Amino acid sequence: MSGRFPCVGRLRKGYHRRQVDAFLNSIEVSLSGALPPLSAVEIRQAGFELVHGGYDTEAVDAALDELEERVLVRQGMSSGRRGRVDTPGEADFLKAELTAPYMKRFPRAGALHRGYDVDDVDEFLDRLVSALEGGAPVTADEVRAAPFRPRRGGYAEDAVDETLDRVVEFLLVLGRERSVHKDAGP
């Protein structure tokens, strides 16, 4: 049986092929308009079982990243704003949210629960704020792959992940708008 993606060897683990195929089918049907649309967040948060001989995780993740961008574009086009977002306003909103005082940017997981290491998150947020203010750029892939060590009493993972999801959406839409403006010519 041939699949959509390359498979890993029988001794390695990859994403469960039927789960991935079913999820991708639902996205395609959604994009065709036959089902209610999936959100970019739903695509970003999709998870699959790891099984021996499954699909190569990197190939599937790359395809999901592309689909997430397609869904964001589609959402923007149907939002009544003709595919444009208020990027300066969104950048200001994100900067304000990301520049809260150190160690107080997100709720804590609690002393007995694991969360993200506060220093790791705060350092990464400083990098994001610098990028929003015109410093070294940060890509959506870098935000998606940001490594945070687990720590008891750290920042609550859900709160951090939700904010980083919005940053990823902002960067994807911003990148698309820049490419549209670049393609438009002088």
Same domain, 110 and 73: no
Average pLDDT value over all residues in the chain: 82
pLDDT digit string (tens) for 47-70?
899 999 999 999 998 898 888 887
Q: Name the helix (H) or strand (E) containing 15.
A: strand 13-15
Question: What range does the domain containing 130 cover?
Answer: 87-184
Number of domains in the chain: 2
Same domain, 91 and 73: no
pTM tops 0.75: no
- Average pLDDT score over residue span 77-103: 66
Q: Are 172 and 72 in contact (CB under 8 A)?
A: yes
Residue 1 lies in a domain: no
pLDDT at position 54, please?
Answer: 95
Same domain, 25 and 95: no
Closest of 55, 46, 44 to residue 18, by C-alpha: 55
Residue 57 lies in a domain: yes
Residue 6 lies in a domain: no
Fill in the DSSP letter of residue 24: H
Angstrom distances, CA of residue 179 to CA of 67, 176, 185? 17, 5, 10
